[in-house]
A and B are shown apart, each in its own frame.
Chain A
Amino acid sequence: MTCTSSRQGTVRRGGRHYWLAFWVVLVTVCTGLSSGGCWSRKEVTELAWVSTMAIDRGQKSGWYRVSSSLLNTRTAVGMTTATAVEPPEFVVSVEAPSILEATRQTTAMLGRRAFYVHCEVIVISEEVARQGLRPIIDFLTRDRQFLQAKRLIIAKGKASDILDVRGSVEERVGRLIMTALDSASVYGLAESVTVGQFAEAASSPGIDPVLPVVERVSLEPQNVQRYSTSVPELSGATGQTEQHSPSSAIMEGGTRRTVRVVGLAAFRNDRLVGWFNDEESFGLTALLRGLRNTPLTLTSPRVAVSLTGGPSKLRVKVSPDGNLEYTSELAVDVSFLQVFGSLDLSRQEVHDLLMQQVAHEIQRRIDKALSRAAELRVDPAGFGLALYRANPKRWAQVQAGWRDRWPTVPVHYRVDIRSLKTGLAVDVPPVSTDDVPQQAASRVIQRLEEPV
């Protein structure tokens, strides 16, 4: 009762008037903001939506050539569907001393404000990556349009070539690259890396970043005569842009192009220093983030399996005299998806020996990746970071020459095959009566028992 009476007393003393004034001001401010009186307003019809950005080295020293793949709103807003003369995207390239200036020049050329919030992928050329990505990363993490979730990839050759891949199933370049990256990460060829992840790895002690690498590939020649016309250039584009822009003509001679992920790029701090090929990338991704339905084909016996598991648990042991020793465990589930020849998968001996073979093959690829990393003097697996976290004092002692030291540190890998699944069949389909499965299985076991 006390509460009620005192609260009513408050209102009686004029609180109602203050509330009225409060709501009047609030509604006025909100209405003012929403009715276009805001300085930062962005009208959809005044924006040019950039879906992918490519950064190459400019002709002048220290300059960048920035190519932006923009959504063609003439086809995207429902006026018409994408055709040869009205492709879903077009490319505009500018040269500037900084990325910031390049974005402003792009806006000036387009007549609309280049809008990068929906730019999902940033392609960087090999040349630029070898010079170092720190200035680019700094811009991307500082500008509010480029969130840290943007994905970074390295192009073998020119980055702007990657934007010229129209003709594939996916019409938008950014989406095509994203799906290619996702697929590649499934089959263990690459790892999707965002701007933030790269920046963190490049600045952390004891770990070097990696980035996926893509290249442009041509598909088989198609009968696409109707696609051989040139794309009408955007109004306002200069003659120079027309000459150099990769969008000046698509699918010349009826050739469709797409992108392919070809492995990982090795960085020392922020500078590109080399490449990891297919098998090395497999080993590295298995270490870094594990396996996700990743296919693997054994050669002897010839069996295709799908692997799931990880990531590996890296532990470091520092002995009292300061010696280091790493152990890593990777637990993997294996599913057989294709068996060549006769192999009785229902037999336990076959299971055991195949598990050994799978584990051995994974370990071989990891070893190969680490050998390559040692050769490039990089530490993408984060051995140094593991030491820093476990024993920062010892890390401080070895930090200076770590890239030369870590290859000499013993690393014990253990690949555990947790389960072995045979899919929906336990045996291969019989093809003749003269090859008795048991005999075939015995032969396989003999072959498996030979020392690797």
Chain B
Amino acid sequence: MVTPPSGVSPGNMAIPRSAQADEPISTGEMAALGTHLLIPTTLMFLPTAVIRIAFQDGWLSNILGFGLTLMLAAILLPLLAHAAPGQGLLEALRWRAPWIARWLGLVFGFALVHLEALVVIEIGILWQQAVMPETPDTFFAITALVLAALSARAGIEPLGRTALLFAGILLIFTPVILFMSFDLIHPAEFQPVLANGMKPVVVATQPVLGFGEELLLLALGLGYLRPRPGSSPAKASFQVVALATGISMGVTVLFFAATIAALGPREASRDLLPTLTYMHLIRLGEFIQRIEGVVLLFWTWSILTKAGLVHLLACQAWGAVFAIRDARVLSLPLVGLVFAESRILIRDTIELVHYLMIWGLIATMFFLVPLLIGLVAIGLTPSPNRPAPPPNAAVPGQNTLSPNGPSPAPGGQPVP
């Protein structure tokens, strides 16, 4: 546990080396992780929720929702990176306003456990409803949670590399899949009709925005981001947001439109997993009859990566609550909490679909608002890196983000 030395106010002490900065990942890896936060669950359940409201105009809602996400994330994350370079939101707050950091950590901690429980439920539904109906979803939940916990303990670097590999595969396979389903697509099915004006499109933007706001959770892990030489953290975080949102919006809009065009808006709206049903229909003559197995493999890969990332961020949040420097020790204990919530959160798939209709509201309350509060707190608190120098309180080692290891604290002893 790291506590400010007695007699030294947080504003006057040097920030120890960031725990996240010990495991830097590149902009591409961080962007790939952001893509994983958005794509897998968006493709799974969002089409049903959106098309039920906006029918064939649903893909417009997708563009609108992701556009708003891009706008929000492209402002807030670079702002954080500029205000607290090399640190995640809670990390930055711990040394500026510990009290706020604990409370925000609590909010984020519960929100992330909730999100991970939802992801676990979605994995269970995907596999149980689509592939293995006789297998209890508890089995999928435990498997997914154990894998998520272990990958979170392994750290962000393996997650980032896995995510980057998947992002490449996704970019290659998306046009291939769309090309293979060319004969299924009837463009007239997704031409905008706007039978009831723009209102349904705007209303359907709400769940899209909810899924999109999950990208804001990267603020908690922004300390992992290692900018390229010559690039600032703010610029790197903007690149992350632009890449993640751009890829996610492109892929999901394409699959949205293709699903609507292949199944028709009414069939797509009553389908639990319309994207998977669309994959079922794709065949290449007598040669390739079923591609959904391959799709399921990559889908599961992606959603497990998301679960791992969310688990890691949840550890960070709870670590801020308990002031633990390397919060990954909380990885396994959190499994029990997430598992318990996943068992009591949603009763059935219908309830889940209805719940996702208000996911935009939930995400705004528990992802966006705490981030805004944190940013304001950081903005109002003087940076400990640039304190007003009190008399006789020279703080050595101000450049605490130096890669040369922990900065010595006053008194010459390294901060643990």
Contact = CB atoms under 8 A, between A and B. Distances in A.
Do A and B belong to a common assembly? yes
B154 A148 contact: no
Interface in A197-250: 197, 199-201, 203-204
A139 interface: no
Contacts of A9: 22
B158 A19 contact: yes
B280 A148 contact: yes
B267 A392 contact: no
B266 A203 contact: yes
A408 B133 CA distance: 51
A19 B155 CA distance: 10
A430 B196 CA distance: 67
A76 interface: no
Contact of B157 (A10, A22, A201): A10
Report whether over half of chain A's contact residues are helix, strand or loop; otherwise say mixed: helix
Interface in B250-295: 263-264, 266-267, 270-271, 277, 280-281, 283
B152 to A, nearest CB: 9
Contacts of B195: 388, 392-393, 395-396
A10 B155 contact: yes
Contacts of B24: 2-3, 6
A271 to B, nearest CB: 18
B226 interface: yes
B157 A389 contact: no
Nearest to B151: A22
Interface in A14-57: 15, 18-19, 21-22, 25-26, 29, 38-40
A19 B132 contact: no
A393 B130 CA distance: 39
B280 A389 contact: no
B193 A392 contact: yes
B278 to A, nearest CB: 9
Contacts of A7: 23, 157
Contacts, number: 97
Contacts of B169: none
B281 A149 contact: yes
Nearest to A200: B264
A147 interface: yes
Contacts of B196: 392
Interface stretch (B99-107, B135-143, B386-394): B135-143
A203 B154 CA distance: 50
B23 A10 contact: yes
Given A6-B23, A29-B143, A149-B280, A18 B154 contact: yes
A60 interface: no
Contacts of B283: 149
A392 B150 CA distance: 53
Given A10-B23, A25-B147, A29-B143, A38 B157 contact: no
B134 A40 contact: yes
A388 to B, nearest CB: 7
Contact of A18 (B130, B139, B150, B264): B150
A120 to B, nearest CB: 11
A301 interface: no
Contacts of B133: 40, 144
Given A148-B263, A196-B263, A6 B22 contact: yes
Contact of A25 (B139, B150, B191): B150
Interface string B325-367: 0000000000000000000000000000000000000000000
Given A22-B150, A196-B267, A392-B193, A3 B226 contact: yes
Contacts of A98: none
B267 A200 contact: yes
B83 interface: no
B146 interface: yes
Contact of B132 (A21, A40, A197): A40
A38 B147 CA distance: 18
Contacts of B157: 7, 10
A9 B134 CA distance: 45
Contacts of A392: 193-196
A200 B194 contact: no
A75 interface: no
A5 interface: yes
Interface residues of A, number: 36
Contact of B147 (A26, A144, A149): A26
A39 B267 contact: no
A18 B153 contact: yes
A38 B133 CA distance: 11
Contacts of B281: 147-149, 196
A141 interface: yes
A39 B266 contact: no
B412 interface: no
B239 interface: no
Contacts of A18: 150, 153-155
Nearest to B226: A3
Contacts of A147: 277, 280-281
Contacts of A5: 403
Nearest to B229: A2
Nearest to A201: B264
Contacts of B271: 141
B263 A200 contact: yes
Contacts of A25: 146-147, 150
Nearest to A117: B290
Contacts of A38: 132, 135
Nearest to B282: A149
Interface string B162-201: 0000000000000000000000000010010111100000
Given A3-B226, A25-B147, A26-B147, A389 B191 contact: yes
A366 B261 CA distance: 26
B129 interface: yes
Contacts of B280: 147-149
Contacts of B194: 392
Contacts of A39: 132, 134-136, 139
A25 B149 CA distance: 11
Contacts of A388: 193, 195
Contacts of B153: 18, 21
B61 to A, nearest CB: 17
Nearest to B191: A389
B228 to A, nearest CB: 11
Interface in A134-160: 141, 144, 147-149
Contacts of B146: 25
Nearest to A314: B188
A196 B271 CA distance: 11
Nearest to B267: A200
A22 B308 CA distance: 12
Given A39-B139, A389-B193, A15 B267 contact: no
Given A40-B135, A392-B193, 7 more contacts: A6-B24, A21-B150, A21-B153, A39-B136, A197-B264, A201-B264, A203-B264
17 contacts: A2-B24, A2-B403, A3-B226, A7-B157, A10-B157, A21-B150, A25-B147, A39-B132, A141-B267, A141-B271, A148-B277, A149-B281, A149-B283, A197-B264, A200-B267, A203-B266, A389-B188
